[in-house]
Amino acid sequence: MDSMKSFQSYCKADELEEQAYRRRTRKRLIIIGLSTIVLIAIIIGAVFGTLFPVKSSKSKENPPTYTAESIKAICDVTRYPDSCGSSIAAIRSSSNDTDPNPGPSKVFILSMQVAVGELTRLSSLPQKIISSNVNIDPMVREELEICENLFEDAVEYINDSISAVQGGQGDEMVLSTAKINDIKTWLSSAITNQETCLDGLMEAANHAAIPQEMENATRNSTEFSSNSLAIATHIMTILQSFQVPIHRKLLKFDRHHHGREFDPRFPLWVRRGDRRLLQEENPIPNITVAKDGSGDFRTISEAVELIPKKKKTRFVIYVKEGVYLENVSIDKDYWNVMIYGDGMYKTIVSGSLNKVDGTPTFSSGTLIAAGRRFIARDMGFINTAGPEKEQAVAMRSSSDQSVFYRCYFDAYQDTLYVHSNRQFYRDCHVTGTVDFIFGNAAVVLQNCSIQPRQPGPDQFNTITAQSKTDPNQNTGISIQRCQITPFDNLTATTYLGRPWKDFATTMFMQSHIGDIVDPAGWTQWTQGVDPPNTIFYAEYENLGPGSGIIERINWPGVKPNVTTEEARRFTVESLIQGNQWLPKDSMVYESSLE
C-alpha cells in the first residue's frame, strides 16, 4: 500500500513536472514567435523605408543648419570666393539679416542682390564722367551712354534671375531644367554687357584714362555677377550636398512646360503660335509697310513706333518688296515682334553707319533687335559702308530666344553681331571680311551660306570672333551644316576665326569648308601673341578641301577632331535648349548631330 502510494506520488509528481515542462515550452514558443514577428516587422520597415523614404515630421521642426563654413563652401565654387563671402556678409549686415542659418537658395539670391546693388550704383557713373569732362569726345560720350543702358539691362537680367529662383518654401527651390538654363543665360548676358561697355570705350577713347576708370569701377560688379553665375552653374550639386529638398520631377522633361503642351518637333521656347507663323506663307500682319504707299506706312521705323511694350502675344509687321533706307531698332521693351518680307533679296533694309564716321560698333547695326523672342523671316539687312569704314554692322541681336529664318546679312567688317542671349539662324546668307560673325551669344547657324569676301588692302578674313570671358557662361558660336564658300573674287587669306576673349568658344561641324580657308584654320587676335589655353576651337566631321586638319595650328585650345560627345554640346538641343526645332514640312531643322 505504501509502495503503491509512493508510485502514485511519483507518477503524480512526474505528471506535474511534465505539465510544467509543457507550459515552459509553450511560453518559449510564444516568445520565439513574437520575437520572429517583431524581427520581420523591423526588416520590412527598414526595406520599405529605404525604397520609399518618407519625409520626417520633424524635418520642418529641425531644418538643416548652415554655418559660415557652409556659406564658404558655396562660395568656393566661384572664381572669386573671397569677394563672394565678404559681399554676402556685408549685405546681410546692412539689411539686418538675423537669420543664423541662411540656406543655399538664400545665399544664391543674396549673391545676385549684391550684383544688382553694385550695378545699380555703377549705372550713374557714365553721366558723372560725362559731366566732369566738358570737352569729351562725342564718340566717347556715346559709348558712355551705351554703358549706362548696358548696366541697366544687366540689372534687369539679374532681377529676372532672382524672380526665377524665388517660388519655393523655405529652402525648397522650385527648379526646372529650363529655368536653370534661363538663369545661366541671363547671368551670362549681364557679364557680357559689362564687358561690352569696356570694349566700346577702348575702341573710342584716344587715351586710356576713361577706359581705365571704367574698368576699375566695374571690377566688383563683374566679380559679383561671375559669382552668381558660378553658383547657378553648380546649383544642383550644391543643393544635393546640403540635402535641400528639391522638386526633382521638375528637373525632368515636362510635357506641359509653362502650361503649354509640348510638341517634340519644336524647341521648348518656340510657342505654338510662333510655329504657325513660321510655317504660314503669309501670316496676317498687324501692320503692313510698303514704299509705294499701299500699306499702313512707308517706313519700318514708323511701324515700330506702334509696337506695344512688353506684349505677351505676337505683333507682326509685313514689309513689302523694296529697299528701305533706314536703321531699325527693336528696343528691349518690344517683346514678341515678328518682321517678315517677300524674300531675303527682295525686301532689303539698308544702312551705312560705321565706326570711321563716328558711330560705335554697338549702335551701327542696320537692324538692332533687343526685345525678347524676336523673329525675322525672308528679309535682307545690309550695311553699305565699305571695308575702309572698318566696323559696320548689318544686324545686332541681343534678343533672347530669337529666330532668323531665310535672312540675308551683308557687310564687310563685323557683319553679324550675335551679341548675347540665345539665337538661331536657319537657311540664312552671311557675307563679310574681318570678324564677320562675332559676339558672345549662345548661337547656332544651321544650313547657312557663309561667304567671306575680299577685304581692304593688307587685311585678312576671319569668319568668327567669339568673346566669352567667363568659363561658366553658357555661350558659344556653333556653325552646323553650313557652306563656307567665297563671295565673288576672293584672294585674301581667310581663317575660321580668331579668339577675341580668353574663353572664346567656337565649333564648326558637319559643314562644307571650301579651299579658301587657310590650312592653319585659326589665327591670333594679336599677331605674335598666342591665345591662352582656355579657348575652345573645335571641328567635327567637316567636308571639303578646306576641312583638312593635319596642318591646323597647334594650340592647346584647338581641337580639330573632337568626339561625338563633345560635338553634341553644340547642337541646337544642347547649346540653346532646342528640341527638334521646326517641323520637317516647313522649316527643316536638326536638333542633334544625326
Choosing from 199, 435, 470, 518, the catalytic residue is: 435
Could you give the CA distance from residue 570 to residue 509 in angstroms, rounded to a whole number? 9
CB-based burial of residue 26 (10 Å sphere; 0-12 exposed, 13-18 middle, 19+ buried)? exposed
Decide: 470 and 188 in contact? Cβ < 8 Å.
yes
Residues 6+ apart with CB under 8 A from 198: 211, 214, 215, 218
Say if CB 373 and CB 338 are below 8 A apart.
no
Separation between Cα atoms, residue 385 and residue 322, nearest integer Å: 20
Q: Which helix (H) or strand (E) holds 567?
A: helix 564-568
Q: Whose CA is closest to 324, among 307, 346, 306?
A: 346
Residue 188 Cα to chain centre, angstroms: 6
Alpha helices, DSSP H, located in 404-530: none
Give every CB contact of residue 384 below 8 A, 6+ residues apart in sequence: 350, 351, 352, 411
Task: Report which of 329, 349, 331, 480 is spatially closest to residue 410, judged by C-alpha positions.
Answer: 349
DSSP label at residue 319: E
HEC string of 121-161 equals HHCCHHHHHHHHCCCCCHHHHHHHHHHHHHHHHHHHHHHHH
What stretches of 419-459 adopt beta strand conformation (E)? 422-426, 429-432, 434-439, 442-446, 449-452
Told to judge if 435 belongs to the known catalytic residues of this protein, a careful annotator would answer yes
Bridge-based pairing of strands 483-484 and 315-319 is: unpaired
What positions carry a catalytic annotation?
Answer: 435
